[in-house]
Structure 1
C-alpha cells in the first residue's frame, strides 16, 4: 500500500491545510502544527487577526498555545495550492425551516477546487448527511479544478468528534473515524491522523458509513435526552424531583446516565435534522428522531412558562421583577452560544413582555451582543434580584456559596419569596430555606 502522500506530509516536504478555523478546525490545525507543516485557512480576516495576536476566543486550546504555535494563519486561498492534504472543518448549520444549510461546505469546496493541486487528498470533517461528500462536494471540486477525482486527487471523510468545553475528552484521546474513496486513500488519511490522535483511528468501510456514524451518534444522544426531558415534565406534574429519581435509577449498572435539560449547540441540536431531511428525500418519515427533536425543542417554552408560574405562585409581580438569566451559552464552560436554547428561553419570556438580564462569565461577548443586542452583567454586579434562572452549569456558578446567592437577592418587604430556577441542579435543594426561597428544577 502506497503512503506517498503521508510520507511527503510527515517529512515536511508539503503542507497540510485546515479550512475553517472555529471550535473544531483550530484545535486540529494547532495539533498538526506541532508535528508537520500546517496552514490554517479561514475567510474571516477578523478571526485570523485575533489568532495572530495570540488570542483564542474559543477557549479550546488557550492563548499560550496560539502564541507559540508554528501554524501559519492565512486568508489567501492561493496558499492551499501548497497543501497535499486539505481538511475541511467548516460549520454545517440548518435553515429557518430546519433543512440542511450546506452553503459553507459548498463554498469551501469551491475555494479548494480553485486551488487544488494534483495528488492532493481532501478530507471533509463537516457533519453532513450520507452522500454529500460524494454527490455534492466531489462534483464541485472537479468542476472548479478541472481535475478528475480518483485520478488527479482523492477524497475522504472523517467526522469531527471534538466536544467543545470538555477538558477530559480532548481531540487526541477520542478515537477518530476515517474513510476514503479507496483503500489507499483510507490508509493515507489514517496515517495522517495518527500523528495527532493518540487513541487511534477506526477505518470505516465507506464514506457514507462514516457520514452516517456521525449523525447517528448525535441523534442517539438527542433521543436519550428527550426521554429524560419527557420524564422531567411528567415528574413535575407528579410533584417528584427528577434528579432524585435519576440518582436512584443510576445505581443500576446499565443506566445510561442522561439528564434533562436544554439541547442546543451546533451538533446535537442540529444533526438530527440532517438525518430527518435525507430520510424524507428517500420517502421515509422519521418517527423516533422527529419525536425527540419535538420534545427537546419544546423545553425552552416549558422552562419559560415555569419561570412565570413560580414567580406568580411566590407572590411576585412578574413584569416588575428583576430576573437574571444565569448562563446563555449552549453548554457549560464554553463561550459558544450558537443555537443556544438559553437564548430561546429569553426570547420566550420576552413574548410575555418580561425583560431579563443575562449573566455569563465565559460567553463570547461579541457573539452575545450580536445575538441579543444587550449588555452582559458581571456575577459580582448581580443584586436586588427577585429571580435567578440557572440555565447553564458553568463552574463559576457551581462555586457560588449560600452567602453569594443570598447577596444577589433583594431584601423583601412583603410576603413574596425569592425564586430560584435551577435547570442544571447547581444548588442542593436541602440547603434552601423554604420560607425565603421558592426553588424549582427539572
Structure 2
C-alpha cells in the first residue's frame, strides 16, 4: 500500500476536515494524492479558496498540494487508504455520541474495495474501532476484515493554537489489525511525522493510550481546582501556593481553571462510559469530571457573593466577561466552559456583556445562543478576565478601572495581572 501511495497509483482520503483532519490532509498532500472530504459544503468551498474555516492554518499551507476538496461521497470511491477524523462528542447526558463515526464508517464502507485500509483518528474508548466501527465497514462493503481489507487506529495529537508542537513534531502512535497493517500504516504516517511513530501492539492499546492522555490532565487540573476552592475558604492565594510548592523538583505545576474544549472536557466521558458498560463505576475519574464541570457555577457564586458584599443588587448589575474560546489565542469555542459561566451568571439576572477578539460572533450565536459584542462599553460592576489571550495579557489595572464604576471587581481566572492592595480594585483569582 505505502509504495503505491508514494508512486501516486493510489489515493488517501481524509474524512472530516476540522481541527484534526485538515492539517493531516494537507501534510499527506505534500507526498501523496489526497481527497479531502467533509459533509459541510460551505467549509469545502472555503478550503478550495485556500482558507481554513477553523482559522488555524495560513493560506500558504494550501499551496502546491495534491488534494481534491469535496463534499461528494462518490469521490471517496477513488481512494484506497481512508483516514477518519470526525468529531466524537457526548450528548446532554455525557454519553458518547457515535453517530458521526458511524455515518463516516457507513460512507467509507460503500467506497471500500479489496486491499483498502481504514485508519481512525477520532478519540474513542478502547474497543470502539473494532466493536462499533468495523461492523459498518463490513456490512456496507460486504467485505471481511483481514481477508479483504485492513484497519488501524492512530490517535490524533493536534494542539490547537500551539505553533511549536505542530502535527509533524509530535510523535504519532499507530496500530493495525495485523502485523502487515501495522507496518504499512506506520510507513504512511512515518513519511510525514518528523518526530517518528510509535507502534502500539494492538488497536485497543492505541485507543486506551489516547483517552488516558486527556483523562490524566483532567484529573490533575481537577485536583488544583479543588485545592483552589479549599484555599479560597482559608484566605490563601492558590497561585502563591503553587509557586512555593513548585520549588520541589517533582512537583507538577498544573493550575486551576475552566476545563473546556474537546480533549480534556469530553474524552474522559468515553472511558467512563466503557468502564460502566463493564460493570465498574470509576471513582477517581468521575470525581475529577464532577469538580471540573462544577467550576462555572462555583465562579458565578463567588462573584455573586462579592457583589452582595458591596450591597449591589445582581438584577441591577452589569458584568463584562472577556474571552469565550476554550484556550488562549484560538478561535475554537467547542465545549466552552466560559459559555456555561455566562449562563450561570444570567441565572442571577446579571446583565452580562461578552467579548472575544478571536471567536466568531456567528458561531457563538449558533452554538450557544449568546451575543458576542464588538467591544466593551463602560460602567461595569465587575469584569471577569476568563481567557489568557495575548490581547488581554497586555492590559493593566488602569484599563479595568476605566471600564468599571466606583466599586470595581476584577475576577482574573488565569492569574494574568499583578494587583496591589492600594490599586482600588476588589481582586480575586483562582
Q: CA deviation at 1:112?
A: 0.3
Distance in 2, Cα, partners of 1:186 & 1:6: 11
Q: Determine if the alignment matches structure 1 residue 190 to structure 2 residue 180.
A: no
1:375 corresponds to: 371
Q: CA deviation at 1:65?
A: 2.1
Alignment of 1:242-321 (within 5 A): 242-321=238-317
Q: CA deviation at 1:117?
A: 2.0
Compared CA separation, residues 245 and 185, structure 1 to 2 (3 A): same
Alignment of 1:106-121 (within 5 A): 106-121=102-117
Q: Determine if the alignment matches structure 1 residue 11 to structure 2 residue 7.
A: yes
2:386 corresponds to: 391
Q: Determine if the alignment matches structure 1 residue 153 to structure 2 residue 149.
A: yes
Alignment of 1:2-41 (within 5 A): 5-41=1-37
Mapped contact 2:189–2:197 kept (Cα < 8 A): yes
Distance in 1, Cα, partners of 2:69 & 2:394: 37
Q: CA deviation at 1:243?
A: 0.5
1:438 corresponds to: 426
Mapped contact 1:336–1:364 kept (Cα < 8 A): no
1:425 corresponds to: 415
Mapped contact 1:17–1:86 kept (Cα < 8 A): yes
Mapped contact 2:43–2:53 kept (Cα < 8 A): no
Compared CA separation, residues 382 and 68, structure 1 to 2 (3 A): farther
1:223 corresponds to: 219
Distance in 1, Cα, partners of 2:78 & 2:234: 64
Q: Determine if the alignment matches structure 1 residue 79 to structure 2 residue 75.
A: yes
Compared CA separation, residues 69 and 406, structure 1 to 2 (3 A): farther
Deviation string for 1:82-111 (max 9, x for gaps)? 212110000100111111110000000000
2:89 corresponds to: 93
Structure 2 residues without counterparts, runs of 5 or longer: none
Mapped contact 1:154–1:181 kept (Cα < 8 A): yes
Deviation string for 1:8-41 (max 9, x for gaps)? 1111221111100011111111111122211110
Distance in 2, Cα, partners of 1:280 & 1:338: 26
TM-score normalised per structure 1: 0.94
Deviation string for 1:94-137 (max 9, x for gaps)? 11111111000000000000111221110000111111111111
Distance in 1, Cα, partners of 2:155 & 2:311: 51
Output the aligned Cα RMSD: 1.5
Mapped contact 2:397–2:419 kept (Cα < 8 A): no
TM-score normalised per structure 2: 0.97
Say how many residue pairs are matched.
430
Distance in 2, Cα, partners of 1:392 & 1:276: 28
